[in-house]
Amino acid sequence: MNKTMKTRCGILRLMMAGCVIGLALPSRVAAEVSDADFNALKETVQKLGEQVQNLQQSNIVQRQTHAQDLLQIQQLQQKLTETQQIATNAEQKSIEASMTQPMPRQPIDEATVNHNFMMLGDAEFQYAKIAGQHGAFLQADFAPIFLYRGGDNILFEAGFDTTLANNAPGSSGYTTTFNLSFAQLDYVMNDYMTFAGGELILPLGTYTERGAGWLNKIPDNPLAVDALLPGTGLGVEMRGGIPVGDTGQSLNYEVYVVNGPGSSDTTGTSGSAGNLDLGGNVGVLSDGSTVANLHGHPSGGARLGYFVPFKPHYDLELGVSGQSGEWDDAGNHLWSAGVLDAALHLGPAFEAKGEYIVTRYGSDDIGTHYQQGWFVQAGYKLAGLDLELPIINNLEIVGRYDSLHDVYDPADNAFDIKTRRYTVGYVYYFTNTLLFEGDYEFLNSNDPSQADQFILQLSLGF
Partner 1 sequence: MKTSKQLKVLVQTTFAAAVAIVMIGGLASTTLFSAETDTNAVPSKTDSAVSQTNSAAVKAKAPAAEKPVLKHQLTGAELYSMHCNRCHPERYPTERTAAQWKTIMLHMQVRANIPGDQARLILQYLQDNSGR
Please give the residues from 2 up to 21 whose contact with partner 1 meets the rule CB under 8 A: none
CB of 318 to partner 1, least distance (A): 5
Q: What letter represents residue 350's amino acid? A: F
Determine, following the binding rule CB under 8 A, whether residue 311 of this chain makes contact with partner 1: yes
Site string for partner 1, 191-210 (x = CB under 8 A): xx-x-x------------xx
Q: Yes or no: say if 151 and 111 are a contact pair by the CB < 8 Å rule.
A: yes
Binder among 123, 238, 316, 424 for partner 1 (CB under 8 A): 316
Q: Which is nearer to partner 1, 199 or 317 (CB)?
A: 317
Site string for partner 1, 335-354 (x = CB under 8 A): -x-x-x--x-x--x------
CB of 87 to partner 1, least distance (A): 39
Q: Which is nearer to partner 1, 200 or 258 (CB)?
A: 200
Q: Which region among 116-124, 288-296, 325-333, 443-451 touches partner 1 (by CB under 8 A)?
A: 116-124
Please give the residues from 364 up to 403 whose contact with partner 1 meets the rule CB under 8 A: 367-368, 370
CB of 396 to partner 1, least distance (A): 10
Please give the residues from 35 up to 94 whose contact with partner 1 meets the rule CB under 8 A: none
CB of 370 to partner 1, least distance (A): 6
Binder among 124, 199, 220, 317 for partner 1 (CB under 8 A): 317
Determine, following the binding rule CB under 8 A, whether residue 228 of this chain makes contact with partner 1: no
Determine, following the binding rule CB under 8 A, whether residue 186 of this chain makes contact with partner 1: yes
Determine, following the binding rule CB under 8 A, whether residue 120 of this chain makes contact with partner 1: yes
Binder among 228, 230, 253, 457 for partner 1 (CB under 8 A): 253
Binder among 274, 279, 322, 331 for partner 1 (CB under 8 A): 322
Q: Which is nearer to partner 1, 164 or 238 (CB)?
A: 238
Please give the residues from 412 up to 451 whose contact with partner 1 meets the rule CB under 8 A: 429, 432-433, 435
Neighbours of 373 (CB within 10 A): 26
Determine, following the binding rule CB under 8 A, whether residue 244 of this chain makes contact with partner 1: yes
3-state secondary structure the chain: CHHHHHHHHHHHHHHHHHHHHHHHHHHHHHCCCCHHHHHHHHHHHHHHHHHHHHHHHHHHHHHHHHHHHHHHHHHHHHHHHHHHHHHHHHHHHHHHHHHCCCCCCCCCCCCCCCEEEEEEEEEEEEEEEECCCCCEEEEEEEEEEEEEEECCCEEEEEEEEEEEEECCCCCCCEEEEEEEEEEEEEEEEECCEEEEEEEEECCCCCHHHHCCHHHCCCCCCCHHHHHHCCCEEEEEEEEEEEEECCCCEEEEEEEEEECCCEECCCCCCCCCHHHEECCCCCCECCCCCCECCCCCCCEEEEEEEEEEEEECCEEEEEEEEEEEEECCCCCCCEEEEEEEEEEEEECCCEEEEEEEEEEEECCCCCCCEEEEEEEEEEEEEHHHHCCCCHHHHCEEEEEEEEEEEEEEECCCCEEEEEEEEEEEEEEEECCCCEEEEEEEEEEEECCCCCCCEEEEEEEEEC
Q: Which region among 98-106, 225-233, 241-249, 446-454 touches partner 1 (by CB under 8 A)?
A: 241-249
CB of 319 to partner 1, least distance (A): 8
CB of 64 to partner 1, least distance (A): 50
Binder among 188, 236, 366, 376 for partner 1 (CB under 8 A): 188
Give me the residues that bind partner 1 (CB under 8 A), please.
116-118, 120, 147, 149, 152-153, 155, 157, 186, 188, 190-192, 194, 196, 209-210, 214-215, 239-250, 252-254, 304-313, 315-320, 322, 336, 338, 340, 343, 345, 348, 358, 360, 367-368, 370, 429, 432-433, 435, 461
